[in-house]
Copies of this chain bind each other. A is one copy, B any other.
């Protein structure tokens, strides 16, 4: 027997309709390429998103067709987030940090038919534009209509000016229809596409808004620093629009000082990005602690890779509250969040920091488990296993890619490739990526634990630990360390610093100082490059 409840499809148009009716006078702010500020209201945004829908329909966009975006975080991009779904298209955000070859592969694999490009990004786009086989239209977006576009480009502002938003009719798509697409930046293998449904995005938004997760509400002012081409900026533009938060987009200016100026000026209460960004902010604040007046308790969600405890502590001194999260493109992307649980509210600050440097507990509608070498691991905070997830916005397959099929278990879980311990409250600690784990004589050594410990040393800016082949132990750890400008430290000094924290067999066999750690387009350490560089490295003989 079914319940007698309305058939109410969870889709993107309902978010936009709410923005239009309940939050019409809320503000959306963008830092433009010339650094000036663009402001308009939710009412303006909805009017223009409707016009974009109408323009795409006139260009012949068919339901289900992929429409690419190649944009910074700005109001045009937000309009595309809603205007493309309005026309039944699938929003495909292209990652502008990738190489032209990767972008060629991805855009062809996704079969993008139209791409919306920021005018400032045209030089980059033109490096692969002609390689996109089925591309029909390129729409160029800039704050003002462009009179100087080359043949074959359409002007975003002119297209919109030709539309009358009164012609717009809200579609009511079925919730399982595809609406957005992101490619994983995968450090191994070909990039793979994840195809989000309307339902996944609405449920993700609703959950992110809950007080146990991102706690986003109408009274927040939100800056997604995480790019809108990376897992939908962690869903923040959808969540913020659903709850009617004031939205602030940083455009292309992501350095510490530019961001701090924006956070201060717009009285921002919530922001999100990778640790590198907050490191930049931390350094800028240490240099000039009194320059910026920020909102007290400004929440900074950090994800993409783990935030070192030292960074969390330092930002706390400036009244900025780092909250760690973990997710993946394959999960839209939110998996876990490390809001302080009630049992730690009155604990000593060291215990609180220890918790806040973990990756947190699963969001509602997400289930987790860890698979060890001998079945599922106990939730004891110690045993390590590969994290598997299941939930309302987790991918069930990659788009047209049999290659990734082994990432999905027979009983319906996704293998994340992350090695975790899970504590009795379901709080995860990412010990490593499965491919970065060091397998030494049947024991697992977490490269992440060693890296975090090393980064707690005052002279160390960054550290990466990789596996080096070993005749006896199969693999042994080598630490690669970047020192802070003007600081010095010896191998012995750093080893002495590590010794009290680790079993002898899990210490690195050696430490090498390098000038920088290569990073992926999303700011993650690119250990593959380090492994290549050090593949013939000879470890010293170490007894333990």
Contact = CB atoms under 8 A, between A and B. Distances in A.
A390 B14 CA distance: 11
A179 interface: yes
B212 A394 contact: no
Interface stretch (A151-159, A192-200, A313-321, A438-446): A192-200
Given A64-B1, A209-B210, A210-B211, A396 B365 contact: no
Interface string A308-332: 0000000000000000000000000
Given A8-B365, A218-B342, A242-B364, A2 B211 contact: no
Contact of A179 (B3, B342, B362, B379): B3
Nearest to A341: B218
Interface string A417-438: 0000000111000000000000
Nearest to A66: B1
A7 B397 CA distance: 12
Interface stretch (A15-23, A30-38, A290-298): A15-23
Interface residues of A, number: 73
A491 to B, nearest CB: 43
Contacts of A3: 176-179, 195-200
Contacts of A203: 206
B361 A2 contact: no
Contacts of A178: 1-4
A364 B243 contact: yes
A8 B217 contact: no
Contacts of A364: 18, 206, 209, 242-243
A462 to B, nearest CB: 33
Given A197-B2, A396-B5, A210 B218 contact: no
A364 B203 CA distance: 11
Contact of A195 (B4, B22, B23, B379): B4
Contacts of A209: 210-212, 364
B8 A194 contact: no
B426 A22 contact: yes
The 4 A-B residue pairs with the shortest CB-CB distance, nearest first, are A3-B197, A211-B217, A1-B64, A22-B426
